[in-house]
Amino acid sequence: MTASDYLRLKYTSDRHLAMTTQNAIGGVMQSARGVASDIYSGIERVSWYSSCFIPKYNDICQELKAEEIRTVYSIQSIFRYRDVIAHMLYLYFKLVCDDVEEGNKEGSARKFIRNVAGLAAQINVAGGTRYAFAEAAAGALAHSNFLSKIVVERVSAKIPKVVFGLQYFGMEQKAALAARHLKVMCPDYYWVLYQAKLEMLYYFAEPILEVMIKKTLSRTFKTLDELTDFMRENFGV
Using DSSP's 3-state secondary structure scheme, residue 223 falls into strand
> Are 84 and 78 in contact, with CB atoms under 8 Å apart?
yes
Q: What is the DSSP letter of 1?
A: -
Helix axes 84-97, 58-80, angle to 10 degrees: 110
Cα-based angle 125, 86, 27 (whole degrees, multiple of 5): 150
How far is residue 119's CA from residue 129's CA, in Å, rounded to a whole number?
A: 9
Q: Name which of 142, 143, 170 is nearest 155 in CA terms.
A: 170
- Where is 190: in which H helix or E strand? helix 187-195
CB burial string 122-148: b at 16+ within 10 A, e below: bbeeeebbbbbbbbbbbbbbbbbeebb
> Are 178 and 41 in contact, with CB atoms under 8 Å apart?
no
* Confidence (pLDDT) at 117: 52
* Confidence (pLDDT) at 16: 44
How far is residue 133's CA from residue 153's CA, in Å, rounded to a whole number?
A: 28
* Confidence (pLDDT) at 12: 67
pTM recorded for the entire structure: 0.74
Q: Which residues contact 12 (CB under 8 A, 6 or more apart)?
A: none
Would you kindly state where each structural domain of the chain is located, as residue ranges?
3-235
The CA-atom distances, in angstroms, between 111 and each of 97, 169, 195, 229 are 17, 43, 32, 11
Kindly list the averaged pLDDT for each block of 10 residues, start to end, along the chain of length 237. Answer: 75 49 39 54 70 76 85 85 89 84 73 65 53 84 84 64 62 87 94 93 91 90 88 86
